[in-house]
Structure 1
């Protein structure tokens, strides 16, 4: 998204301005901490990623999920490393950041395998290019049909951002949530951010949106308990009826150029933010 259109930026900021504060409950952590604030202000972050903070609300989102410096955190399919730029340096001293990527060898030959290989190569190149931030980050490859993200009971926090629609489309959603449950310690947390549909959608829905109840059902079927909801990533301006689904909106911007102002004013998608807990050992 270009930063040269000041009027458009102002429209977007207005449409998705200060999101409501995260819901709180007895286990809700503080919204942020000084160490996290320093990571968000880090000059190593890609300026294009920083520009999206107003849509992704990383401080409030990670605070709601209970991020703490000494944790082992598994991020599922981090893509280009938007959150890795924050999480890996945050956890470098005293914690552990694990980037869980799809194993290209687990996929049939063709476009899907090639795409996942390119994605993994880019992330590993990013890590190799800045040892000061990423030298202690770990990359774990998994088979989406039977995922293993690390030793059982080894993680404090598993995070997934805008991925559930992909797993549903591939028929792997329940296997993924089962894998999250297995890798977490008793009492551990699963944090989910996903494009939010107005209601349940079909298994073969191509919009990129998912019903909130559908995500909760996947987590509960794996053994999780819903521990909190937040509206921090809500966007009431998102009508969810776009010609090319969620990818019509920024940052995908899959639309006619004539509609650029319209979609820039909406901003990024309306998103659910859910916190789940693996029950403590009884």
Structure 2
């Protein structure tokens, strides 16, 4: 009986310790809990798991970060808070949107133009982060040399720096054309292309995977929008 009680107590202590270890860093928790975040952003948190994403990315206070194609700024605002006043966030937007983005930028966020292979930030970055955008590199209307774009991204990151890619998963072996038809991409394609640029794959997160998504629908289909199966890859630049 005493042994059973002892084992139960040890198990409870182990579970409590695991729970403590699993908590995101304080600066990440504070960034997600920031009361200045729009209510519309908060409503998306259950699906997008921002605390898990920022923790997995390893963003630290004082980091220099670039977010590629930030859209409405969902992650931009949290990255800005997470790096704090000593850090910087470059928001890489389409060239056509640059002036508008400059007028709306706040605090430590500086918009820069995302211009394909010519892309460059004002200084090397510790972390490059992009959510639901990598597949756009393969859209026919952009006609991008994806290998050249990835090389430009590689050159923008400091040696030892990190690249995090979140995107909508296509079925295994899906052709690149699904980028246009479904706004999805085969995770294996992303890994292969990014590694070819010189990055080293170092891990993935399953926080936003969804096995209920059969990956055959357009990501904007009302039946799956906001609930797609998404992969999260982390790469490192050697150095």
TM range (shorter): 0.7 to 0.9
What residue is the counterpart of 2:113 in the other structure?
141
Matched, 1:222 2:194: no
- The 5 A counterparts of 1:46-61 are 46-61=38-53
Where does structure 1 lack aligned partners over 5 or more consecutive residues?
Answer: 1-28, 105-116, 128-133, 254-262
Q: Cα–Cα, structure 1 residues 122 and 33, in superposed 2: closer, same or farther, change >3 Å?
A: farther
TM-score by length of 2: 0.83
What residue is the counterpart of 2:237 in the other structure?
278
Q: Cα–Cα, structure 1 residues 91 and 188, in superposed 2: closer, same or farther, change >3 Å?
A: same
- The 5 A counterparts of 1:138-177 are 138-151=110-123, 154-169=124-139, 170-172=142-144, 173-177=146-150
Once residues 94 and 227 of structure 1 are traced to their aligned partners in structure 2, the CA distance between those partners, rounded to angstroms, is 27
Tell me if the contact between 1:193 and 1:274 (Cα under 8 Å) persists in the aligned partners.
yes
TM-score by length of 1: 0.71
SS of 2:151's equivalent?
Answer: helix
Aligned residues: 214
Once residues 148 and 31 of structure 1 are traced to their aligned partners in structure 2, the CA distance between those partners, rounded to angstroms, is 35
SS of 1:189's equivalent?
Answer: strand
SS of 1:190's equivalent?
Answer: strand
Q: CA deviation at 1:202?
A: 2.1
Once residues 226 and 87 of structure 2 are traced to their aligned partners in structure 1, the CA distance between those partners, rounded to angstroms, is 34
Root-mean-square deviation (CA, aligned residues, Å) is 2.0
Once residues 30 and 187 of structure 1 are traced to their aligned partners in structure 2, the CA distance between those partners, rounded to angstroms, is 25
Q: Name the structure, 1 or 2, with higher relative contact order (CA <8 Å, separation 6+).
A: 1
Deviations 1:183-206 (A, max 9, x none): 111111000001011213323322
Once residues 67 and 220 of structure 1 are traced to their aligned partners in structure 2, the CA distance between those partners, rounded to angstroms, is 21
Q: CA deviation at 1:121?
A: 5.3
Q: CA deviation at 1:145?
A: 4.1
Where does structure 2 lack aligned partners over 5 or more consecutive residues?
Answer: 1-20
What residue is the counterpart of 2:172 in the other structure?
199
Q: CA deviation at 1:32?
A: 1.7
Matched, 1:35 2:10: no
Which entry has the higher C-alpha Rg, 1 or 2? 2
SS of 2:170's equivalent?
Answer: coil
Matched, 1:63 2:55: yes
- The 5 A counterparts of 1:1-282 are 32-104=24-96, 117=97, 120=98, 123-127=101-105, 134-151=106-123, 154-169=124-139, 170-172=142-144, 173-205=146-178, 206-242=181-217, 245-248=218-221, 253=222, 263=223, 267-280=226-239
Tell me if the contact between 2:165 and 2:234 (Cα under 8 Å) persists in the aligned partners.
yes
SS of 2:219's equivalent?
Answer: helix
Once residues 173 and 165 of structure 2 are traced to their aligned partners in structure 1, the CA distance between those partners, rounded to angstroms, is 17
Once residues 246 and 55 of structure 1 are traced to their aligned partners in structure 2, the CA distance between those partners, rounded to angstroms, is 14
